């Protein structure tokens, strides 16, 4: 991903977030998808902006986007495609706590090679992946502040060395389960944190937490952008059952159900998982 492409994609996420904030500030209606999950007109408005931008700049790369798939439009893809969640954390959007995000990820051969996650209501943006700088490519991740449509206060982020006095572990604000609590119970925990949407992955990448176990349903577009940022920051996203690196695939003649994720763990250091009972 070149610097110019990176700038385009971060700005695209910011523009989608600006449209979301317009709707966020006004009364809006809530509908339910076929699976019962909530959706608002902000989801569609943000996705429209993202799809138009990707079609303009990356016309040869297919896009798998949440609301389009919900409408029955799931394109055939090969090894390279975008995964888009125009508004991750709709429950947080409805609660008006600001913890929702815009996610854009590029997948190559099953691996997320670039991701951008913006949190428009919080004024935060994260991005990372295999980025070209001064003629060479390296895995790197960044965090910035969104101010008047631009990114300021940019700083490189990296996972932290797990502290000896106990871990900071993230649990979903909306999807905590007995299974997750039991898994967390295997660790020495200094603090248990809650935050919505793909911000949990970004917090691992930025060294604000050590582990995020997700033993509840998610879709590929929910996590791909955050996964790219975690990996670029030196961490890992792995299958909860096997510990192998997480992969992304859209099979031939796929349906929405084919894009559901197995349980996974985002971790700053894989050695934290050694000797544990496998998470189912």
Span 90-112, pLDDT tens digits: 889 999 999 999 999 999 999 99
Top pLDDT among 34 and 55 is at 55
Measure the CA–CA gap between 247 and 238, rounded to whole angstroms. Answer: 8
Q: pLDDT, tens digit, for every residue of 59-84? A: 999 999 999 999 999 999 999 999 99
Q: Which residues are annotated as a binding site for substrate?
A: 66, 87-90, 222
Q: Which of 44-58, 112-126, 179-193, 217-231 has the lowest mean pLDDT?
A: 179-193
pTM beyond cutoff 0.85: yes
Could you give the CA distance from residue 262 to residue 246 in angstroms, rounded to a whole number?
A: 9
Residues 113 and 107: their CA atoms lie apart, in Å, by 6
Distance between CA 53 and CA 275 in Å, rounded? Answer: 46
By percentage, how much of the chain surpasses pLDDT 70?
A: 96
Residues 187-218 as b/e (b if ≥16 CB within 10 A, e otherwise) read: beeeeeeebbbbbbbbbbbbbbbbbbbbbeeb
Using one digit for the tens of pLDDT, what is the confidence trace for 151-208? 999 999 999 999 999 999 998 656 667 888 889 999 999 999 989 899 999 999 999 9
User: Once rounded to an integer, what is the mean pLDDT over residues 37-60?
Assistant: 93
**pLDDT the model gives residue 171:** 81
Q: What is the CATH number of domain 3-157?
A: 3.30.540.10
Binding residues: 66, 85, 87-90, 222
Domain ranges (residues) in the chain: 3-157, 167-273
Extract the annotated binding site for Mg(2+).
66, 85, 87-88, 222
pLDDT grade, residue 234 (50/70/90)?
Answer: very high
Q: Which CATH code is given to the segment(s) 167-273?
A: 3.40.190.80
Predicted confidence at residue 36, as pLDDT, reads 62
- Of the listed ranges 112-116, 170-174, 206-210, 259-263, the least confidently predicted one is 170-174
Return the SS3 of 236.
strand
Provide the pairing of β-strand 167-172 with 189-195. parallel
């Amino acid at each position: 991903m070149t610097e110019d492409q990176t700038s385009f994609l971060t700005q695209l996420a910011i523009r989608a977030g600006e449209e979301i904030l317009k709707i966020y500030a006004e009364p809006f209606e809530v509908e339910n998808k076929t699976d019962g999950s909530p959706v608002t007109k902000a989801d569609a408005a943000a996705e429209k902006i993202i799809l138009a931008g990707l079609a303009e700049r990356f016309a040869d790369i297919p896009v798998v986007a949440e609301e389009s798939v919900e409408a029955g439009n799931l394109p055939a893809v090969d090894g390279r495609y975008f995964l888009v969640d125009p508004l991750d954390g709709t429950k947080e959007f409805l609660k008006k706590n600001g913890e929702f995000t815009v996610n854009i990820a590029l997948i190559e051969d099953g691996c997320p090679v670039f991701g951008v996650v913006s949190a428009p209501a919080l004024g935060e943006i994260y991005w990372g992946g295999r980025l070209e700088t001064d003629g060479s490519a390296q895995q790197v991740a960044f965090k910035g502040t969104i101010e008047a449509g631009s990114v300021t206060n940019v700083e490189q982020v990296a996972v932290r060395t797990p502290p000896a006095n106990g871990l900071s572990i993230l649990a979903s604000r909306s999807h905590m389960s007995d299974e997750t609590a039991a898994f967390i119970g295997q660790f020495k925990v200094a603090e248990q944190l809650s935050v919505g949407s793909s911000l949990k992955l970004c917090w691992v990448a930025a060294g604000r937490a050590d582990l995020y176990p997700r033993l509840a349903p998610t879709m590929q577009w929910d996590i791909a952008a955050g996964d790219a940022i975690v990996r670029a920051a030196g961490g890992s996203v792995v299958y909860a059952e096997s510990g192998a690196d997480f992969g992304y695939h859209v099979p031939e003649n796929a349906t929405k159900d084919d894009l559901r994720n197995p349980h996974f763990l985002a971790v700053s250091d894989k050695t934290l998982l050694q000797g544990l009972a496998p998470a189912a």
